[in-house]
Amino acid sequence: MTGSAATPATRELTRLGIAFTMHPYDHDPDERSFGDEAARSLGLSTDVVFKTLVVIVDDAPAVAVLPVSGFLDMKAFATACGGRRTDLADPARAQRMTGYVVGGISPIGQKRPLRTIIDEQAWLHDVIYVSGGRRGLDIGLAPSDLVQVTQAQIAAIARADFA
């Protein structure tokens, strides 16, 4: 993959020889629920489309990757990181740290690789979909390949509701 279609995420996967599929879609600039938009546009379940969130754990940035259908359990995420305090990074900080625009933050090919925790539900699927590095592009890959490329750990960090 070369040219303008390539992103740091797709270049990194290509460099490592990791199989992936590209799934572009038309992004609505007024949409703010990026993961839901990707799932809807691609005709996929929100259980297989995973969102990438930048979280600050005890002043250190980390990345949570979890199904769009779930919510991040901040306490479980802090525990997985060995920390206590968590908060979502503000969008400007998330963009500076990853090199990606919010809504297109990929767990792969970040400007500065951040500690990554992937929700255990990824193992329920042969293929999961994550942002490909820009709004309007998801990539499909095996969960084991995502773990390999991000050097992630797996933990139960998602919950179904705000309870």
State the fold for domain 3-159.
YbaK protein (3.90.960)
pLDDT in tens, the chain (163 residues): 444 579 999 999 999 999 999 999 999 988 888 999 999 999 999 999 999 999 999 999 999 999 999 999 999 999 999 999 999 999 999 999 999 999 999 999 999 899 999 999 999 999 999 999 999 999 999 999 999 999 999 999 999 765 4
What pairs with residue 130 in β-bridges?
Answer: 139
pTM, rounded to two decimals: 0.94
pLDDT (0 to 100) of residue 4: 53
Q: How far apart are the C-alpha atoms of 57 and 109, rounded to whole Å? A: 21
The residues spanned by each domain of the chain are: 3-159
